[in-house]
Every structure is written in structure tokens, then in C-alpha cells.
Amino acid sequence: MNADGTDVVRLTDGPAADTNPVPSPDGQHIAFNYDPDGNLDVGVIHADGSPGINLTDNPAADGAPSWSPDGTQIAFASDRDGNLEIYLIGADGTDPVNLTNHPAADGTPSWGPDGERIGFTSNRDGNLEIYVLHLESGAVERLTTSAAADMGPAWSPDGRQLAFSSARGGHLDIYVVNADGSGIVQLTDDPAADESPRWSPDGRYISFTSDRSGNQDIYSVTVDGLGLTSPTNNPAADFGASWGR
């Protein structure tokens, strides 16, 4: 879909809800959440709509896919080991690895553009916060410290910032934070729930979902917070904003 709302393309046609489409870095594949057989899985299909694979194919709930920058792996969240963890898996469905191994709920991975860091959400310190996992060392760094829910991080294309949603202002709004946890800036301020931020490829806009019009629509805001547009204004629910590449 273009930023002006044209060229909306239906990518899946399953009986269950298919949400959160995420294009691969080369644009050739789409990863998405779906429910093919009674539990949530991550599917990967060809961008032209030809059949793909059930990437996870596990009785647990598997979702929230995020591609590695080189397109060879996908990070996702699953409770297959008893609580939510972040996993890596080959883009062909091989060799899932538990990255977080923590009794708290760890979810919504976002793979950084340098390939070396994964942002995620966890309640391991008592409430939902944004964390960064350094893949080589295994070190986990906490970026937020608010008593409210902070969640759903998304790396900027230049790797310098993460967008996230937070209820710290009394309702869910979109914020950005530098990758070292400094410089938090609030981009939206609306009583509706603004969430699931996604950066435009040029890093100038952040799209997000909001129910501010009474149903779920996709909006975008300029990163300086001065402009808000609504590419979709559809009476049906829109979920999972994702910029094409």
C-alpha cells in the first residue's frame, strides 16, 4: 500500500484472521500471523500470493514475525516452552532457537537493521518495558523505565531509534527512543489506543493502528510529530500496518 492509501492488495484468503503481514527485506516473501489448524502460527508466502509454508507448525501460539536484515532468518514469539519467549528460525522453517529463556513474557521482536540486535517487549521487571537483545553476547539492555505499559518496538531504518507504544500518558500513544534508551519523544497524544508502529523505508514517517475514529484504521505521523495523516479510513478493521519495500 502506498502512503496515500492507494493500491491496497489482499495478500491472503484464509478462513481465519490473517494479520500482521511483514515483507521480507528483498520483497519476495511475506511473513504473517494465521491460524491454519486451531492455533496461531507464522506463515511465509511468496509476495505474488503463490503458496508458501507454515513456518512454525507447533501446537503453541506462535506469532509476531520479524525478518533478519539478510532475509535468512525470522524472529518470532511463542509460548511453546511454557511462557512467551523470542525465537529465531530459518526462513525455511528449520532450527528454532529460544533466545530469551526467561520466566517472564517476552514478545514482539523487531530485528535491528544492523542484524546484531533484536528489540522486544518483556514484563521481566514488573511491567511491560522495551528491551534490546545483543545477539552475539546475549546481553539484554533495558530501554524504558516507566510504570505504565511500554510495548511493540520497531527499529528505525538507520538503526538509531526505536518507535514503541506506551500508556505512560494515560492512554496508548506512539513514542520514539534512541537505541541507547535516551531521548524519548512522544509523537501522538490522543485518548484512543495508538499502537503497532512501523517506520517508512525513508525513516520520515511512522504508521500505526488506532481506533480514534471508532474502528481500527492505519494512520501515519511524521517523526517530528507535527503531521498526522490517515491513509486508510475503512469502516472495517485494519490491522498490522506494514510499509512495502
Nearer to Ca ion, 19 or 127 (CB): 127
Q: How far is the CB of 217 from Ca ion (least distance, A)?
A: 13
Nearest by Cα to 147 from 175, 121, 166, 133: 166
Nearer to Ca ion, 35 or 113 (CB): 35
Give the separation between CA 224 and CA 216, rounded to whole angstroms. 24
Q: How far is the CB of 61 from Ca ion (least distance, A)?
A: 6
Q: How far is the CB of 191 from Ca ion (least distance, A)?
A: 6
Facing residues of 32 across strands? 43
Nearer to Ca ion, 3 or 104 (CB): 104
Facing residues of 62 across strands? 78
List the Cα angle 223/121/162 in 5-degree steps: 20
Nearer to Ca ion, 69 or 178 (CB): 178
Q: How far is the CB of 203 from Ca ion (least distance, A)?
A: 22
- Judged by the rule CB under 5 A, the positions of this chain that interact with Ca ion are 39, 41, 58, 62, 83, 85, 102, 106, 127, 129, 146, 150, 171, 173, 190, 192, 194
Torsion sign (Cα): 205, 234, 77, 168: positive
Q: How far is the CB of 195 from Ca ion (least distance, A)?
A: 8
Nearer to Ca ion, 171 or 204 (CB): 171
Give the separation between CA 11 and CA 92, rounded to whole angstroms. 20
Residue 92 contacts residue 48 (beta carbons within 8 Å) = no
